Structure 1
Amino acid sequence: MFKSLHLIVFSLSLIGTINSLLDHIPREENVLVLTQNNFNDAIKDQLMLVEFYAPWCGHCKSLAPEYAKAAAKLAEDNSNILLAKVDATKETDLAEKYEVRGYPTLKFFKMGKSMEYGGGRTSEEIVRWLLKKTGPAATELTTVEDAKKFQESQEVVVIAYFTSKDGDLSKIYLEVAGENDEIPFGIIYEKSVADSLQILDDKVALFKKFDEKRNDFVEELKADLLKKFIHSSSLPLVVEFSHETAQKIFGGDIKTHNLLFMKKSASDYETNLETYRNVAKDFKGKVLFVVLDVDDDEHEKIMEFFGLKKEEVPSMRLIRLEEEMTKFKPEKDDFSADYIKSFVNGVLDGTIKQHLLSQDLPEDWDKLPVKVLVSSNFDQVAFDKEKNVLVEFYAPWCGHCKQLAPIYDQLAEKYKDSSDIIVAKMDGTANELEHTKINSFPTIKLYKRETNEAIEYNGERTLEGLSKFLESGGDYGRAAEEVKFEKFNLIHFKNFFLPRNPTKKKSNLKLNIKKMNYNYFFVFVLNFIVNKFSFFKWEIFEVIFY
């Protein structure tokens, strides 16, 4: 008895000591202000989310009121979770220790150990993520009142009823719940409580405050099937593309996306959106319907990728993000429900062929030593069985392509009178080929006469090297099969960087990025970096593929 009482007194005194330590740390709107001097004491034995910020950072300024609201909400609920912030431009040692490479960076500390924050940027999302990380995987709902309150607590919630607490089905459900940081999960073991929500024995229901309001999981309860159901059902029928929704769009199993480009300011925006939403119901779980506001300048690069101009909207494009990415374009801009359905069904059943970008063929395409190729004349020129045809696939913005240009002109001048050699080039960003995928710039290929075999060049980009490549029939400088850009691409930040310590002197950085075709996900990644780190501009990017 005495021993137990002693432990209680000791525990209370320890809590009092911790609280007194925190009392000496200044606060701004319920957020602790940490420095090198108080950081270790603050995070010790605590549950704490820490924001590393820069005073000049626009995204940090946008986060500040939401962060303060989250701190206030937790304090109001008497939560033991605390929010704190560190000025990383002053506390450079802390920034380096915790590998702060951009602003804001948020890290969650649990008893002194850190992990990356993976939630959203609104106060509700911050609180929800923290409660999920510090509480049970699913909240047990024991009364009808609890169940109703939980159902209405968030935009999306998942609730299940199981007849057995220790059964395999409830274990699978709790496993899925524990892996999901975004959605609250409830669990019921009382039939009367389940009946109040009309949830059947050993079944799962997803409740939401939009679209159909409710979706019931009717398949066999397996983890992978339940995850897929939750992902597809928790998304709106039509998802508006943004930084906040991109992870949900690209993170799931649905790899076919139907994109509608519209001006949000247009008078027919709501009408077209409602039609689009109604059609989306028929393709739920198979095709993701996405809308992009073209008034948003951040979407300009995505429009360029699809070959769209603002004056051409509203317009629709479908993209399949499989191993080989393919794009599809409807024959006309018809936004009736029947036409949208027929277009999507045509892509799914294979009757509609992929859309390939192509420039118009210039009238003087063959007047200069370097012949100009576009999609429409590529096969005719490159697959001429009587000639060896060298083709450079370039991008107008590529620095290495610009460096190569005078050398390539000299090469063409050297062989302009040859009867069996053609030197040509094609803008790989404005022209696409069904049989050839270009993942890097510049890419140089020799199409051999008679066989039309395509041999990629991987030698020095010099007049001598390219001449040897041509004259050897593609043997000199030939790229090995296993290194044909299958492993990685590089993005080179020419003038800026993501340093281990953002306050140190700027230098160049090369980042390895998993191979992904230049698709709208790739555009999003670059867009995200540019907008996350406000001192970046699009012009600093140069995509280099060696």
Structure 2
Amino acid sequence: MRLLMILLLLSCIFKSGICSTADQFKVDGKVLELDESNFDSAISSFDYILVDFYAPWCGHCKRLSPQLDEAAPVLAGLKEPIVIAKVNADKYTSLASKHDVDAYPTLKLFMHGISIEYFGPRKAELLVQYLKKFVAPDVSVLSSDSAISDFVEAAGSFFPIYIGFGLNETVISNLAVKYKKRAWFSVAKDFSDDVMVLYDFDKVPALVALHPSYKQQSIFYGPFEDEFLGDFIKQNLLPLVVPLNHETLKLLKDEERKIVLTITADENEDQSQNLIKVLKAAASANRDLVFGYVGVKQWEDFADKFGVDGKTKLPKMIVWNGDEEYFSVIGIESLDKEDQGSQISQFLEGYREGRTERKTVKGPSFMGFINSLIGIRTVYIIVFIVAVLMLIQSIGKDDEPLRVGRRDEVDHAESSEAESSQYGPEKKED
């Protein structure tokens, strides 16, 4: 009997590592509480684990916690389970520092031990729908009309959806892997004429790109070589005209194309909506550019970066490089109410011919912008720290100037705190 027990113990060790470690972590639908002693073991025990780095005093963290509790059992029940865990980053500071946590809450998704920062929604139902993308097949094979319908419904509205009708999955598999984190990919092997009418294509093979949340779709009939196919997929990762807000701005982070930005007084007004329709037509014919719009009423701080104030004639058009520079077209900075299509054409022609004036993005009020993004408590902390540093500097012997931070650090702080007013990506506090 003793020999049998020893053999069982050795078997447990060789199969699962240490038995206590295997028992410690179970996919039971509960949120795991991690610390420095068990964090690495947890990450290595699960293929997919979403970790919430939180602080007990953080308001956003307190509101997020019940959402994670609600999502955890649903994610644990997936065919490829996703475990949710949390770390008190305010207590385990070295662990937080190791994983580049500089604000709360910070969510990181670990996939086979490799982490990416989670920028998706924070409401339980939406969070589940968003995370399903990461455990889905690279390319789903659909064999009936109902399978196509179920796939589109399950995909939701956060990512664009690509359906290849009459295509072999190998045609898009490489690109599906490349853009797995940004879109759903599928091929339909069997479908009816009704589906062709529904998705508005009249021959096969065809690749249909859908943007459910924007009610937009595009169709590609080839050629299906990587270069042309890749261009179509990349260009359709964004809708024709992007409404710029905290949630969509992150999508432009790695965008190489320039952004034709239209600034209106209120993007919800009828005049603005009519203008957006004209912009869609221009965007469809100028795929080498990204078209976007923002309303001053919706995001005044962002519009202020481009010199928009109470005296600015709106709508205003500029071409932005996505960073610190933008270009105005000489003579066509603003649009009149009449014949806006012709004015937009003239604007694009002037830009392409180089009749532009280069300008630098304006910095908004530091206190006002920071206060709006991260909350007054953090502002007080920042002010206090800066004041202490200035006092130390004034009484020290060194004359080296105080360094507040680099532009990329400020950008990171802005993007990290940008979601304070909604559940969207990068909502952090403190």
- Please give the TM-score of this superposition, normalised by the length of structure 1: 0.55
Match of 1:261 in 2: 264
Higher RCO (CA-CA < 8 Å; seq separation 6+): 2
- The reply to whether residue 157 of structure 1 matches residue 155 of structure 2 is no
Aligned partners of 1:98 and 1:320: how far apart in 2?
A: 32
CA offsets, 1:303-328, max 9 Å, x none? 33322214646432221429974123
- 1:245-260 equivalent positions in 2, closer than 5 A: 245-260=248-263
Aligned partners of 2:225 and 2:68: how far apart in 1?
A: 37
Uncovered stretches (5+) of structure 2, i.e. residues with no partner: 1-7, 367-381, 387-401, 419-426
Match of 1:527 in 2: 414
Aligned partners of 1:178 and 1:76: how far apart in 2?
A: 24
Deviates more, 1:68-77 or 1:40-49: 68-77
Match of 1:292 in 2: 294
Aligned partners of 1:48 and 1:196: how far apart in 2?
A: 41
CA offsets, 1:127-170, max 9 Å, x none? 45644444421112123221111123322321113454xxxxx4
What's the CA shift for 1:82? Answer: 0.5
Alpha-carbon spacing, 1:335–1:260, altered in 2? closer, same or farther (3 Å): farther
Aligned partners of 2:216 and 2:43: how far apart in 1?
A: 41
What's the CA shift for 1:119? Answer: 4.3
Uncovered stretches (5+) of structure 1, i.e. residues with no partner: 1-5, 165-169, 359-394, 399-492, 498-506, 515-521, 536-546
Match of 2:173 in 1: 174
The alignment's C-alpha RMSD in Å is 4.3
Match of 1:476 in 2: none
Match of 1:502 in 2: none
- 1:64-75 equivalent positions in 2, closer than 5 A: 64=65, 66-75=67-76
Instruction: Give the structure with the higher percent helix.
Output: 2
Pair member with larger Rg:
1
CA offsets, 1:48-102, max 9 Å, x none? 1112122334554564455445424313546521111111001223213323233
- 1:231-242 equivalent positions in 2, closer than 5 A: 231-242=234-245
What's the CA shift for 1:271? Answer: 0.4
Q: Which 4+ runs in 1 deviate beyond 6 A?
A: 15-19, 395-398, 493-497
Secondary structure of 2:172's match?
helix
Aligned partners of 1:48 and 1:97: how far apart in 2?
A: 17
What's the CA shift for 1:346? Answer: 1.0
Aligned partners of 1:233 and 1:142: how far apart in 2?
A: 25
- 1:11-410 equivalent positions in 2, closer than 5 A: 20-22=23-25, 30-46=30-46, 47-61=48-62, 63-64=64-65, 66-77=67-78, 79-111=80-112, 113-122=113-122, 123=124, 126-127=127-128, 130-153=131-154, 154-155=156-157, 156-162=160-166, 164=168, 170-180=169-179, 181-188=181-188, 190=189, 192-193=190-191, 197-198=195-196, 200-211=203-214, 213-263=216-266, 269-285=268-284, 286=286, 287-296=289-298, 299-300=300-301, 302-310=302-310, 312=312, 314-321=314-321, 325-328=326-329, 330=332, 333-336=335-338, 338-339=339-340, 341-350=341-350, 353-354=355-356
Number of positions where the alignment pairs a residue of Structure 1 with one of Structure 2: 362
What's the CA shift for 1:196? Answer: 5.4
Counterpart residue type for residue 175 of structure 1? N
What's the CA shift for 1:353? Answer: 3.8
- Please give the TM-score of this superposition, normalised by the length of structure 2: 0.68
CA offsets, 1:201-229, max 9 Å, x none? 33211123355543211342244543443
Alpha-carbon spacing, 1:315–1:496, altered in 2? closer, same or farther (3 Å): farther
Counterpart residue type for residue 527 of structure 1? E
The answer to whether the Cα contact below 8 Å between 1:71 and 1:83 also exists between their aligned partners in 2 is: yes
